[in-house]
Homo-oligomer: A and B are copies of this chain.
Amino acid sequence: MNLLLENIAKHVSLTKEEQERVLSLVTLEHFKSKKILLQEGDICTHSFFVIKGILRSYTIDENGVEHVVSFACPGWWIADMYSYLSQRPGQLYIEVNEDADVVLLSKENQEKLYKEVPKLERFFRILIENSLVANQQRLIDNMSFTAEARYDKFTKKYKDLIHCLPQKQIASYIGVTPEFFSKMKARLLKKQS
């Protein structure tokens, strides 16, 4: 649970009382691998902060193909932002990739926090800013680079994560089929030697 307070402390400093207030408005839960925390059509009532384990968000398109939107490991937030912000049914799935301890913050309680601890408005703004920048970069990368270059970027950015993920999920994240990804990887191995 300290991880959450440390995370906040990186961007704004709270008094002991404010910290207590934050903790009183969130809950900690444990989820087993493969548990689905959110489905297409659901309204995203909570955002999730990962303490331990890994979560993953994805969409399923009209052909039944899964597209990974993001991974969240300890210290990261994850939610269907469209649904969470608008409180309308969303299109994202959020699933547990590896047994996880997760902090839940409800939309209601977040609004409460904004009022009671206005500093947190700043904190969440910064989170969203970072998320926007990362997202925009990924969009540009997808338009500018080949699958190979995208994979290269991914390995550098998520060095630790990479060994914990089934490679079909990595393939999906960088935007290729598992078959092509497998071929590409084999090609890269040959190149190196």
Which residues from chain A sit less than 8 Å from chain B, CB to CB? 59, 61-62, 65, 67, 69, 81-82, 85-86, 91, 114, 118, 121-122, 124-125, 128-129, 131-133, 135-140, 142-145, 175
12 residue pairs A–B, Cβ–Cβ below 8 Å:
A59-B144, A67-B143, A67-B144, A81-B129, A81-B132, A81-B133, A114-B122, A121-B121, A124-B125, A125-B125, A131-B132, A132-B132
A140–B70 alpha-carbon span in the complex (Å)? 11
How would you classify the secondary structure of chain A's contact residues: helix, strand, loop or mixed?
helix
A118 to chain B, nearest CB (A): 7
A122–B86 alpha-carbon span in the complex (Å)? 16
Contacts of A125 in B (CB 8 A): 121, 124-125, 128
A65–B140 alpha-carbon span in the complex (Å)? 12
A81–B128 alpha-carbon span in the complex (Å)? 12
Copies of this polypeptide in the complex = 2
Task: Check if A136 sits within 8 Å of B82, measured CB to CB.
Answer: yes
Task: Check if B129 sits within 8 Å of A85, measured CB to CB.
Answer: yes
A173 to chain B, nearest CB (A): 9
Knowing A118-B118, A121-B125, the reply to whether A136 touches B59 (Cβ < 8 A) is: no
A62–B91 alpha-carbon span in the complex (Å)? 34
Find A69's partner among B118, B122, B136 (CB 8 Å cutoff): B136
A189 to chain B, nearest CB (A): 25
A112 to chain B, nearest CB (A): 15
